[in-house]
A and B are shown apart, each in its own frame.
Chain A
């Protein structure tokens, strides 16, 4: 087997991203997150009463629901739900709200690549808006390795299609550790490490964006 070696071009780009918090009146916390053309709405309800069958005696039950743009949720949405739920469980302090329920609903509005990372970012922003206690923030970064072995961050749908491997990482804000990975395609150990390093770099930008948006939100002037 030929040695797979990824190269990192000197100009790795993140598409423009935008976020709006607290734009829905019904949920306790809401956020919309946009990566280029990919966009997602998130709403959080909770902590609230929990069904007896779902009750956990020492912590809150977190439920994540992902609604696709067309049709009903299927296997793809279920697997994404699991990725998001496990990431949120890792950062939320669920033991502070025993025997209660948290519901996170994510609505896909448009998918133009890097959907899972957009879902993760929207989830984090809405959890922040709901004011739930968290041990750290998290963000999602998607990396693709194209046929020439170039690493592309935040790929579009077209770039995802042509890529050899696709990886999404959830990264925490404290030590920039990896909370969750989801990968597709084949790659070497070296490439994986490179992608993690790239994502950690990109996460700094995202956390700076989180910081700026919260600062703006609690500022008195625009």
Chain B
């Protein structure tokens, strides 16, 4: 599906508003939209709402062989899925420019910053390591996908627990969640990406652009930073020239935003831990806001099942008895089978006739023997007639009603006539059927 383009009026309006230091949703220049972090039922699943942008992070793990050049390091794998649910412009299963850009940026933000201790993911050096897979599903696109994706990925990684393993000699045992408590990943720091959009060749700057603002922006600067104010990655796209002090100002804003977001993630993790300890439910059913009129919840309901058995029995009894499967097949002619009491099978017969025709044309002798071997009543009739007529008399009539007789194929000199007669015969056969 194609994306709806932005009209010139909308574009002009947005740019004018930005010039007047106003934003569509009433935010100030440096304001973030409301961030909400929710965790799923199992470990390693996290939802992030950034305004109307919604993203899901899901971490999973498996045991694999390590890379040859790094035998004692675990493997990190990141994948951002641009699901068509997020925007009609995203297509299923196609690597778009945006998806490559987001994937690369997330990798630089989380893998290349070495925020996760990959050596602790090694089980047997050179043989078995944990591969940690981070899937980020974009569910709704309302701008600033990168920041939402980076928050979702790092929160999911913090929330994730991998199964415990023990090694005895050559044997590796993986314990299930019931047997031993799963182990969290060791995370050194939490890089978080902050996006800045530039308008009018860098004259105006906005933090956390929404989808409309992203469409009219000239350039984008993404800074990934941790709460110790260390820059993990920085990327400028859109082809605008930035001055040194612009970048410095952005990095200062980023450091403030990152410390706020890190605190929020910490709080969310703590809340989740408390809820889990208390044994309360923490699934998605709990996260649906029930105060909205678009949401409804129904509690566990028992069903009355008194008459179900009777009804089922009734239907089964009323149903027709299934037909007996196998009947003895009827064999009208050797080599031809028939099941059922219906009309006679004439498929094989016609084919043989064709063969016969060919044979006759060739004038070969063995076709006579073949004819003798057949026992179709029709053919028998013909033989009878042949005998009556003295065997070698040809009778070609214009009327199709009448019986037509074939010559004995032993007379090769009359071959062309034979063909004609057999054709006639075929026609009459069809009539009878």
Residues of A near any B CB (own CB < 8 A): 7-27, 30, 32, 34, 36-37, 39, 41, 43, 45-46, 48-49, 65, 67, 69-72, 101, 103, 105, 107, 109-110, 112, 153, 189-190, 193-194, 196-198, 201-202, 205, 209, 212-213, 216-217, 219, 222
A198 contact set on B, CB distance < 8 A: 303, 305, 308
B1 at the interface (CB under 8 A from A): yes
What distance in Å separates the Cβ of B5 from its nearest Cβ neighbour in chain A? Answer: 13
B341 at the interface (CB under 8 A from A): no
Cβ–Cβ contact A12 & B305, under 8 A: yes
How far is B92's CA from A217's CA once the two chains are assembled, in angstroms? Answer: 32
User: Which residues of chain B from 278 to 293 have any CB-CB distance to chain A below 8 Å in the complex?
Assistant: 283-285, 288-293
A8 contact set on B, CB distance < 8 A: 305, 308-309
Cβ–Cβ contact A34 & B86, under 8 A: no
B133 at the interface (CB under 8 A from A): yes
Q: How large is the interface on B (under 10, 10 to 19, 20 to 34, 35 or more residues)?
A: 35 or more
How far is B283's CA from A112's CA once the two chains are assembled, in angstroms? Answer: 11
Cβ–Cβ contact B303 & A49, under 8 A: no
User: Which residues of chain B from 290 to 339 have any CB-CB distance to chain A below 8 Å in the complex?
Assistant: 290-306, 308-309, 311-313, 315-316, 319
Partner of B85, one of A107, A112, A212: A107
A212 contact set on B, CB distance < 8 A: 296, 298
Name which residue of chain A comes closest to B89, CB basis.
A26
What distance in Å separates the Cβ of A126 from its nearest Cβ neighbour in chain B? Answer: 10
B137 at the interface (CB under 8 A from A): yes
What distance in Å separates the Cβ of B91 from its nearest Cβ neighbour in chain A? Answer: 10
Cβ–Cβ contact B302 & A12, under 8 A: yes
Name which residue of chain A comes closest to B297, CB basis.
A18
How far is B87's CA from A209's CA once the two chains are assembled, in angstroms? Answer: 29
How many A-B residue pairs lie within 8 Å, measured between CB atoms?
Answer: 177
A-B pairs with beta carbons under 8 Å apart, 13 shown: A12-B303, A18-B285, A18-B296, A20-B288, A21-B294, A24-B54, A34-B283, A37-B285, A43-B139, A67-B85, A107-B85, A193-B315, A194-B312
How far is B2's CA from A197's CA once the two chains are assembled, in angstroms? Answer: 44
B141 contact set on A, CB distance < 8 A: 26
Name which residue of chain A comes closest to B4, CB basis.
A48
A196 contact set on B, CB distance < 8 A: 312
A67 contact set on B, CB distance < 8 A: 81, 83, 85, 137
- Known contacts A16-B285, A107-B85, A110-B41; A209/B298 CB under 8 A: yes
Name which residue of chain A comes closest to B88, CB basis.
A45
Cβ–Cβ contact A205 & B295, under 8 A: no
Cβ–Cβ contact B85 & A110, under 8 A: no
A7 contact set on B, CB distance < 8 A: 309
Residues of B near any A CB (own CB < 8 A): 1-2, 40-42, 45, 52, 54, 56, 58, 60, 81, 83-88, 92-93, 133, 135, 137, 139-142, 283-285, 288-306, 308-309, 311-313, 315-316, 319
How far is B301's CA from A13's CA once the two chains are assembled, in angstroms? Answer: 6
- Known contacts A16-B298, A110-B45; A103/B303 CB under 8 A: no
Name which residue of chain A comes closest to B301, CB basis.
A14
Partner of B56, one of A72, A109, A194: A109
B308 contact set on A, CB distance < 8 A: 8, 194, 197-198, 201
How far is B180's CA from A30's CA once the two chains are assembled, in angstroms? Answer: 40
How far is B141's CA from A27's CA once the two chains are assembled, in angstroms? Answer: 10
How far is B84's CA from A39's CA once the two chains are assembled, in angstroms? Answer: 19
Cβ–Cβ contact B86 & A26, under 8 A: yes
Taking each of A23, A30, A65, A212, which has the highest tally of chain B beta carbons within 10 Å of its own beta carbon?
A: A23
How far is B289's CA from A103's CA once the two chains are assembled, in angstroms? Answer: 27
- Known contacts A24-B54, A48-B88; A32/B288 CB under 8 A: yes
- Known contacts A19-B295, A32-B288, A37-B283; A26/B88 CB under 8 A: yes
How far is B93's CA from A68's CA once the two chains are assembled, in angstroms? Answer: 13
